[in-house]
Each structure stands twice: as structure tokens, then as C-alpha cells.
Amino acid sequence: MNAQETAPDATNEVEAAPLPLPTPDMDGDALFRLGMMYSSGSGGCPMDRVSAHMIFNLASMKGSIEARVYRREMSEEMERDEIAEAQRAARRYIDAGVVKLAA
């Protein structure tokens, strides 16, 4: 199980998971740190490029410049279908209100 697999959809709530996941109270910096955990496989997170990209995407939407850089670098190492999967997962987090973006 990884972060994008536990991303909620409009009909399901997030189940309790042993993995650190994005939460509504996380700012861009906190999301960036979480993305780093997934990109490096540290802090109880598996090394997972798709989850890391998804979280860097959320962090960049909340203003993290560092996350934009890391997301771009990761994109260069990923297949198109992996990037699309990460983008869909980020959208599920946003649509479910788990991650709230500034207006």
C-alpha cells in the first residue's frame, strides 16, 4: 500500500493506514517534507516515486518552491503513466477535501 492507493475518492473516506499521509492541516513545507520521505524511503514510508510526485504536487500547490523543483526532477525519471497516476491521486486528495488549497 502506498499514499496514492490510500487517496480518498468522492465516495470513500480515508481508512486508517500505517503510512504517513497528507492531512488538511499540512502546509507546503510539511507536505514537501512528507514527499521527501516517500522519495527517499525514510520515516516509515516506502520509496515510491508516484506517491512522492503526488505529494510534491500538493506541496507546490500550497506554495512550496522546493517541491516544484523536486516534482520536475522526478518527472524526468518517471513514465507518463506514473505521472498521470500521481496527478489523479493528487486530484482525489483535493476533491475529498483532505488537502485544502489556498484560494
pLDDT at 1 over 70: no
Above 80 in pLDDT, residue 101? no
pTM above threshold 0.85: no
Q: What digits encode the pLDDT tens for the residues 39-91?
A: 999 998 999 999 999 999 999 999 999 999 999 999 999 999 999 999 999 99
pLDDT of residue 4: 66
Give the rounded distance of the alpha carbon of 13 from its chain centre: 17
CB 99 within 8 A of CB 93: yes
Report yes or no: 66 and 19 within 8 Å, Cβ to Cβ: no
Between 13 and 76, whose confidence is greater?
76
> For position 14, what pLDDT does the model report?
47
